[in-house]
Amino acid sequence: QEPIPTDYDIAQSTDMEPIWELVEPWGLGLDDLQYFGEYTAKVKQHAIERLREQAEDKEQNLVLVTGMTPTPKGEGKTVTTVGLGQTLNHVGEEAMIAIREPSLGPVFGVKGGAAGGGRSQVLPMEDINLHFTGDLHALTSAHNLIAAMLDAKISQGDDLDIDINNVSWPRAIDMNDRALRETVVGLGGKTGGTPREDSFLLTAASELMAVLCLASDLGDLKERVSRIIVAYNEDGDPVTVDDIEATGPATMLLRDAIKPNVVQTIEGTPALVHGGPFANIAHGTNSLVADKTAFGMGDYLVTEAGFGSDLGAEKFMDVVCRKGDMTPNAVVLVASVRALKYHGLDQWPVDYDEIDEAGVEAVEAGFSNLDKHATNLQKFGVPVVVSVNRFPDDTDEEIQAVLDHCREDLGVRAAESNVFSDGSEGGVDLAENVIEATEESNEEDFRMLYDDEDSIKEKIHTVATEIYGADDVKYTGGALDDIEQMNDLDFDDYPVVMSKTFHSLSDDASQKGAPEGWELEISEVYPSAGAGFLVALTADALTMPGLPARPAAADMDIDEDGNISGLF
């Protein structure tokens, strides 16, 4: 069997169209774009507004792509999002794609890039996965400008009476660097500032990322930035970005980042790639601006939410659709033979060799995880289509076992997908199932899991028991005091973004399948006042991931002609 060319080789061998030619039939003209080379552009505000208006009187088909609990390598949501978008166009629909932009953390870590793969990629993949249009760099700079101005206030005397033991704004870097998780700043005597404990988070977890993804335009972005809470004073009252006079400069740094990026797929489908929050430590979906722009360009929008449906999809339904007034028409639940075996073999840590050697009985033993994700998604009242993302070594017997189980035991639509190896040719069955599901969907049936008026504890309890399968919730540390403070600050009507491991439906990474008989532990609850949601931290949620001893970076290189290898 011919070795499958690398993602990079496939990308390099694809002839791209100049971006202005590619998007012209989709309603974007030459002066609607701010160019970053021949193949990448940002959509200007006036064009966004025009497209949003055009979308008002168009029927929308919003398709969310989510997944079962993945192995650490990921099971193909982004590949499926790109592949399904391509295929819908291939079968005569007009479909747009919206995905998140990659963080350098995973690029150089374990998962690699986030531009899809195989014959379902967005291009130019090396630009998108590295510096792209600078949005992550802009967010990192804006985040750290706020941190620097805050410490300048603290160390040079401030009228804000800031409690240096109650600073909630860390520093940020777009790199997985565990050594920066817990730091001490302000050392060096009088000129060094005021010594205090600090920390770094990955830029994807910065509240500025969430704000960028939920803001409707630059004015809204600025207003949201101004509300971000960076610390509390000695009376326990919030100190905001506006209080430290950082609203203007931080927003200025994000002037271009608020505009969605437009690129193309291998088969020439336009894709909006914008915003990059992860779904374990943040809300996990691309920007609303990208969604709303895409609605004005096509009849279908295929978009993704990170990690398993317990994370990205739940937040998409309960937070993003709430804030964006959107209703999904179908949900694609990506399953893979390797993830099913990972759960069936009850592995922790993952052993890919054991997975490769295991047979169909291991696949069947892993159905408990897929079933929980499928039945969870049905609670939102949106038709579910399982996409069995076929990997090279999967056997027909293994694939058929999954399809039969979904159709006969779960009673949900299911299709084999080969969009990685074959592009749209490999996605026709999936696309037909998705089209049927959207036609069958009734937007009246869509329901979020909780109401704004529910208490903070009720919201957390609902997600924990309905989605994660917990019997109950236990609050440790200062979590109950945090909730009281949120109520005092009138944040109790905010939706809740849970920060939880993506390795398990539970808060224990080692628990595979559909864990039962456990309680979710909440250790902290804090406000993202700019984003307009609360974040609830569970046991081991890390906002600064680390690199493995031998990260993916170790296999990356560039030659003197600029040819890259090892990027995927």
Ligand X SMILES: O=COP(=O)(O)O
- Of 391, 475, 491, 494, the one binding ligand ADP by CB under 6 A: 391
Closest residue to ligand ADP, judged by C-beta, is 117
Query: Of the ranges 155-163, 274-282, 384-392, 502-510, which one interacts with ligand ADP (CB under 6 A)?
Result: 384-392
Residue 332, strand partner residues: 65, 385
Residue 279's binding partner among ligand X, ligand ADP, Mg ion, none (Cβ under 5 to 8 angstroms by kind) is: ligand X
Helix (H, G, I), strand (E, B) or coil at 83: helix
If the CB atoms of residues 77 and 259 are measured against Mg ion, the closer one turns out to be 77
Omega of the bond leading into 124 within 30 degrees of 0 (cis): yes
Residues 414-433 touching ligand ADP, rule: CB under 6 A, are 420
If one asks whether residue 77 binds ligand ADP (CB under 6 A), the answer comes out as yes
CB of 114 to Mg ion, least distance (A): 5
Within 8 A by CB and 6+ apart from 60, the residues are: 295, 299, 301, 326, 329
If one asks whether residue 503 binds ligand ADP (CB under 6 A), the answer comes out as no
If one asks whether residue 78 binds ligand ADP (CB under 6 A), the answer comes out as yes
Helix (H, G, I), strand (E, B) or coil at 500: coil
Residue 263, strand partner residues: 271
- Of 315, 338, 343, 390, the one binding ligand ADP by CB under 6 A: 390
CB of 543 to ligand X, least distance (A): 13
Full 3-state SS string of 173-241? ECCCCHHHCCEEECCCHHHHCCCEEECEEEHHHCHHHHHHHHCCCHHHHHHHHHHCEEEEECCCCEEEC
If the CB atoms of residues 230 and 496 are measured against ligand X, the closer one turns out to be 496
- Of 44, 50, 52, 73, the one binding ligand ADP by CB under 6 A: 73
- Of 86, 216, 389, 462, the one binding ligand ADP by CB under 6 A: 389
If the CB atoms of residues 296 and 308 are measured against ligand X, the closer one turns out to be 308
Strand bridging mode 472-475 / 270-273 = unpaired
CB of 318 to Mg ion, least distance (A): 20
If the CB atoms of residues 47 and 388 are measured against ligand X, the closer one turns out to be 388
Give the residues lining the site for Mg ion (CB under 5 A). 77-78, 114
CB of 519 to ligand X, least distance (A): 25
CB of 77 to ligand X, least distance (A): 5
If the CB atoms of residues 105 and 495 are measured against ligand ADP, the closer one turns out to be 105
Give the residues lining the site for ligand X (CB under 6 A). 74, 77-78, 111, 114, 278-279, 284, 306-307
Residue 278's binding partner among ligand X, ligand ADP, Mg ion, none (Cβ under 5 to 8 angstroms by kind) is: ligand X
CB of 158 to ligand X, least distance (A): 37
Given a contact cutoff of 8 angstroms between Cβ atoms, the answer to whether 427 and 385 are in contact is no
Given a contact cutoff of 8 angstroms between Cβ atoms, the answer to whether 264 and 271 are in contact is yes
Within 8 A by CB and 6+ apart from 230, the residues are: 146, 150, 167, 168, 169, 239, 240, 241, 243, 244
Residue 513's binding partner among ligand ADP, ligand X, Mg ion, none (Cβ under 5 to 8 angstroms by kind) is: none
CB of 553 to ligand X, least distance (A): 17
Residue indicated by tokens 């009187």 = 57
Helix (H, G, I), strand (E, B) or coil at 450: coil
If one asks whether residue 300 binds ligand ADP (CB under 6 A), the answer comes out as no
Residues 83-122 touching ligand ADP, rule: CB under 6 A, are 112, 114, 116-117
Strand bridging mode 120-123 / 162-167 = unpaired
Tokens at 107, concatenated: 């690029």
Query: Of the ranges 125-133, 142-150, 388-396, 408-416, which one interacts with ligand ADP (CB under 6 A)?
Result: 388-396
Distance, CA of 557 to chain centre: 27
Helix (H, G, I), strand (E, B) or coil at 526: strand
Largest CA distance in the chain: 71
If the CB atoms of residues 284 and 324 are measured against ligand X, the closer one turns out to be 284
Residue 331, strand partner residues: 64, 384
∠ CA 230-233-236, nearest 5°, is 100
CB of 528 to ligand X, least distance (A): 17
CA nearest neighbour of 86 among 99, 98, 95, 76: 95
What's the sign of the alpha-carbon dihedral 482, 488, 491, 493? positive
If one asks whether residue 50 binds ligand ADP (CB under 6 A), the answer comes out as no
CB of 429 to ligand ADP, least distance (A): 15
Site map for ligand ADP, 302-341, x if CB under 6 A?
Answer: ----------------------------------------
- Report the amino acid identity of residue 300: Y
CB of 74 to Mg ion, least distance (A): 6
If the CB atoms of residues 120 and 251 are measured against Mg ion, the closer one turns out to be 120
- Report the amino acid identity of residue 392: P
If one asks whether residue 277 binds ligand ADP (CB under 6 A), the answer comes out as no
Closest residue to Mg ion, judged by C-beta, is 78
Dihedral of the alpha carbons of 93, 44, 229, 458, in degrees to the nearest 10: -20
Contact residues for ligand ADP (CB under 6 A)?
A: 7, 67, 70, 73-79, 112, 114, 116-117, 389-392, 420, 568
